[in-house]
Structure 1
Amino acid sequence: MNTLLEEALNNYKILDPQIEFIRHNENETYKLKDTVSNNQYVMRRHKPNTDFSLDIFGDKKHSVDLLISEMNILKAISESTEILVQTPIRNNNSEFVTVLSDGTPVTLLTWINGNTVEEIELTDDILYKIGEMVGKFHRFSKSWSKSKRLHRYSYDKSLLIRVISKIKTGIELNVLSNEQFKIVENTVNEIINRMNELDLQKNSKGIVHSDLSKSNLIVNNGQITPIDFCLCGNSYYYMDLGSLFSHFDKHEQQSSIINGYKSIIDEDINAKYIETFFVFQIILYISTHIENAARWDWFNDAFNRWCKKFFIPFSNNIAFIIIS
């Protein structure tokens, strides 16, 4: 066991822990089991992998305020909804965030048993329940977010300005051509135009998850649990639908998700705005990985595919998502 992990464990009442490394992306993540009580936990040491940068958010390292707000969001979801989420565990000082001697913050959450959506066979019922869960989360957020001023990331026009500046460095790095960058720039300008339209709609923004990938959705006894709220923040609710559609790309899958969502959120859903945050997700991914793209053989082909299939049609207002 490394010294910092041992230091982190000393701040919690976990007896004779079994430790399993899970992954290292935006966090270094471990599964812990208290072998006396058999309780299981997730411990996150909030230090991003060198391939993952938070600079675009203006957060070179995870701030304590950001993490406290994430813990409070999870606590509120757990207390105010029927959604099963990982709940935060306080340390020996009754605090949600532990700061280690090297300055790295640590948080502890309950463990959720089950399989990720990417590990199981997708059925209409599962997809419907995914949409239903997101609808319940948004219903909660629409009422809860109004009275809260949380220190969280914002997926907004200001972020897009930083995103486009970051992607432009790809020209200097010989990752992108001027023509490729121009396509991205046109796409970002159209995203901003559509955000301006959404700003005219009542109650269009609040706390969103922002990263609803298949690996962040757990199936537990038929119930869908969203995990990894580390990148949650303030944005338009369509952000989560765009996130889902970027991972569930078949029309039948998307229709089932929307049917589940609309069973909770009785509003018209416009595919135009799902497309907006679908391409936002891809562009955000490019901006956070542009410095690594030069050593990825697949990047240029992927980028050209994104341009042809999504960015150019989007900029020209040609629909590529149809919902029914």
Structure 2
Amino acid sequence: MRTEQLQEILNKYDIPEPEIVFIRHNENRTYKVKGHDGNTYLLRIHQPVKEGMVGQQHTYEGLLGELQMLEHLSGRNQLLVQRPVRNREGELITIIEYEGKRWNSSVLTWLEGRDLQKDDLSDPVLVEKLGARIAELHKFYSQYEREGLDKRPSQGIAYNQYMIEVIKQGLAKDLFTSSDVSIIEQTISLVNVRLEDSENDDTWGLIHGDLSMGNIILTSDGELSFIDFGFFGPGYNYTDVAMGAMIVPSEHRDIFLKGYYGSDHTGQEKLDMLEGFMLLAIIGYYVFQMENESVHAWMRERMPKLCADFCTPYLSGGRIFYSV
């Protein structure tokens, strides 16, 4: 987008003489904005780089659900998150026209810090803190009641079934073999069966839905903060816990679980579930990137390893929690 168009959007906000720096264009167009008063913001144009990435989170109602949640969450002291900024009309969303289409845009406060890195997680204290922060987020979600959350992306059994159908499309694209697709289908189906048989209803609620290292900020004083709530919505707590466990070194995963559950003893059923959700997280990346040709070569190369090294042992009852 041209600077003039971006300036036109920011004119609707109380940001004096904004300086705009492009960050990236992936799920959204994102820009760092610094006002003349020294305050810094994040401008998001909710237009994905690929049409196939458009989801409920890009709709007006879906985006409003995310921003309303962040507004409530940012008012709490327990967790540090970006706060949505309302425009001069008091709205959380500013609608723009670009390339003949209408897109939603939003502004958040800037969060100083850097992306969490693998070396950071060699520190067991930080690993336990990560588990505790996810638990605090889930505690907030368990008490958060708001209409319209049905407009947000949902990651439940139906979504798992949808992932099977998308992975099957990889056959026509010559990305995967029929054998690997069959293994993926069996893997997802086993997770769904276990979910249907589970009696732990308290594991279903609201989740972040995309806890990668790039979505976790480490501040200068050692605090952890979550960003990019694009996939926030209904789902199983296991999703966030499994994603958190995956970025932690295998030798520290018990420490991470202690941070989240408050106990070293998670039990066989929880480990079985977490292993399944680790695999769902990996498969979910393939699903999300199915229309992105730039990663097709990587997907084609990595799928056989995923199936052989992790899915097949999981289907055979082997423990993979400490190796994924």
TM-score, structure 2 normalization: 0.89
Question: Where in structure 2 are the equivalents of 1:219-298 lying within 5 Å?
Answer: 219-220=218-219, 221-248=221-248, 250-263=249-262, 270-292=270-292, 296-298=296-298
Mapped pair 1:96 → 2:95: no
Query: Residue 18 and residue 127 in structure 1: after superposition, are their counterparts in 2 closer, same or farther (change >3 A)?
Result: same
Cα shift at 1:283: 1.2
Give deviations 1:208-261, integer Å, cap 9, x for gaps.
Answer: 00111111111121211101111111101111011112322x222322221221
Specify the SS of the correspondent of 2:58: coil
Mapped pair 1:157 → 2:153: no
2:257–2:264 contact (8 Å) kept in structure 1? no
Q: Measure, in 2, the Cα distance between the counterparts of 1:273 and 1:106.
A: 37
Amino acid at match of 1:53: G
Question: Where in structure 2 are the equivalents of 1:95-114 lying within 5 Å?
Answer: 95-102=91-98, 103-114=102-113
1:135–1:264 contact (8 Å) kept in structure 2? no
1:44–1:106 contact (8 Å) kept in structure 2? yes
Mapped pair 1:197 → 2:197: yes
Cα shift at 1:106: 0.5
Specify the SS of the correspondent of 2:20: strand
Cα shift at 1:280: 0.9
Mapped pair 1:87 → 2:83: yes
- The corresponding residue for 1:207 is 206
Amino acid at match of 1:181: V
- The corresponding residue for 1:31 is 32
Specify the SS of the correspondent of 2:201: coil
Q: Measure, in 2, the Cα distance between the counterparts of 1:97 and 1:79.
A: 19
Amino acid at match of 1:259: K
Query: Residue 294 and residue 15 in structure 1: after superposition, are their counterparts in 2 closer, same or farther (change >3 A)?
Result: closer
Specify the SS of the correspondent of 1:79: coil
Give deviations 1:270-321, integer Å, cap 9, x for gaps.
Answer: 2111112111111111112223358643322211111112211222232201
Specify the SS of the correspondent of 1:195: helix
Q: Which runs of 5+ in 2 are unaligned?
A: none
Question: Where in structure 2 are the equivalents of 1:59-208 lying within 5 Å?
Answer: 59=56, 62-102=58-98, 103-118=102-117, 121-122=120-121, 123-145=123-145, 149-150=148-149, 151-198=151-198, 200-208=199-207
Percent of pairs identical after alignment? 27
Q: Measure, in 2, the Cα distance between the counterparts of 1:4 and 1:177.
A: 46
Q: Measure, in 2, the Cα distance between the counterparts of 1:53 and 1:253.
A: 37
Amino acid at match of 2:92: F
Amino acid at match of 2:252: Q
Q: Which runs of 5+ in 1 are unaligned?
A: none
Q: Measure, in 2, the Cα distance between the counterparts of 1:174 and 1:144.
A: 44
Q: Measure, in 1, the Cα distance between the counterparts of 2:134 and 2:81.
A: 12
